[in-house]
Amino acid sequence: MTTELKPCPFCGEKVVSVQEICNGFNQTVCWEFSCGNRSCGVKTNIYIKDRDMAIAAWNNKRAAQEEKI
């Protein structure tokens, strides 16, 4: 089962792309989340090995943002 990727926490854009970025020096795996909305352009790097966990962290970011409003 794939963890559902929630919309951008900043603008609500549903098109969010996830890209794996691997750092060859220390084998750090990073997931780059980028918002598909050009006027928003948010890019977030989350340093978690597991893709589903990174997505969960992105989803939590959105939840935290909603709490502030």
Contact footprint for Zn ion (CB under 5 A): 8, 10-11, 13, 35, 37, 40, 42
Least distance in angstroms from the C-beta of 61 to Zn ion: 11
**Residue 51 vs residues 7, 14, 44, 64: alpha-carbon distances, Å:** 16, 18, 14, 20
Q: Find, among 34, 59, 54, the residue nearest to 44 by Cα.
A: 34
- On whether the CB atoms of residues 5 and 20 are closer than 8 A, the answer is no
Report the residue number, 22 or 69, with the smaller CB distance to Zn ion.
69
CB-wise, 40 or 57, nearer to Zn ion? 40
Please identify, using beta-carbon distances, which residue of 29 and 40 lies nearer to Zn ion: 40
